[in-house]
């Protein structure tokens, strides 16, 4: 049961990372104690194309902000935004880079299917473990593998990225281990399901 709890904890921790979706607005915020003006100067896309701008950022106390439109974030990969700040006498130049690596691929129906798969796999696994039924462990392995394949293709709750693919790999590995363990125990008991 401790291993199951650890797996669920790792599953939930994967969602704590901030994810910026492709085709969504980006709020650029820069803090500076001395600057009196900051400008958004360029956008370098993942394909190394650079688009030059000269847009004043809005000042709020020590923060400067600008909402960059979703049309600028249509490619996955690292996108860098150039910033120039000045206090009237000196000028500082820098950039902020954001990894745009997520895409939306699913809808509410696919979220429901994901939840059904993951809950079914958990129920069969827990039931097989508590009732000592090898055929439930075998079915749990199949459901874990189906969950892994589903997550690999469609993602989890509208996210398809490196994190969801890692979760898919863990589901596939768990499914293979449970499937093999179930088959081994069934064959060890003479090829019949335990009553």
Is the separation of the CB atoms in 129 and 137 below 8 Å?
yes
158 pLDDT higher than 80: no
Write the pLDDT tens digit of every residue in 101-142.
665 544 556 678 888 888 999 999 898 888 888 888 889 999
CATH fold for the domain made of 26-100: Immunoglobulin-like (2.60.40)
pLDDT attached to residue 110 = 67
The helix/strand/coil state of 27 is strand
Domain boundaries, the chain: 2-18+104-188, 26-100
Counting residues of the chain whose pLDDT is more than 90, the rounded percentage is: 13
CA dihedral of 66, 68, 69, 71, whole degrees rounded to 10 = 170
- Give the pairing type, strands 91-100 and 77-86: antiparallel
pLDDT attached to residue 143 = 92
């Amino acid at each position: 049961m401790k291993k199951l709890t650890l797996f669920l904890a790792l599953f939930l921790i994967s969602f704590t990372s901030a994810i910026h979706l492709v085709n969504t607005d980006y709020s650029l915020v820069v803090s500076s104690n001395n600057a009196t003006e900051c400008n958004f100067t360029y956008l370098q896309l993942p394909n190394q194309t650079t688009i030059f701008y000269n847009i004043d950022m809005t000042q709020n106390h020590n923060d400067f902000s600008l909402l960059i439109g979703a049309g600028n974030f249509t490619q996955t990969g690292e996108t860098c935004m150039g910033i120039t700040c000045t206090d009237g006498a000196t000028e500082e130049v820098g950039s902020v880079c954001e990894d745009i690596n997520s895409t939306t691929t699913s809808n509410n129906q696919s979220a429901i299917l994901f939840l059904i798969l993951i809950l079914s796999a958990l129920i069969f696994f827990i039931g097989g473990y508590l009732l000592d039924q090898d055929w439930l462990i075998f079915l749990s392995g199949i459901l874990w593998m189906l969950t892994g394949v589903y997550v690999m293709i469609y993602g989890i709750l509208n996210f398809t990225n490196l994190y969801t693919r890692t979760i898919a790999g863990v589901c596939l590995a768990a499914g293979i281990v449970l499937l093999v363990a179930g088959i081994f125990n069934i064959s060890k008991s003479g090829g019949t399901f335990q009553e």
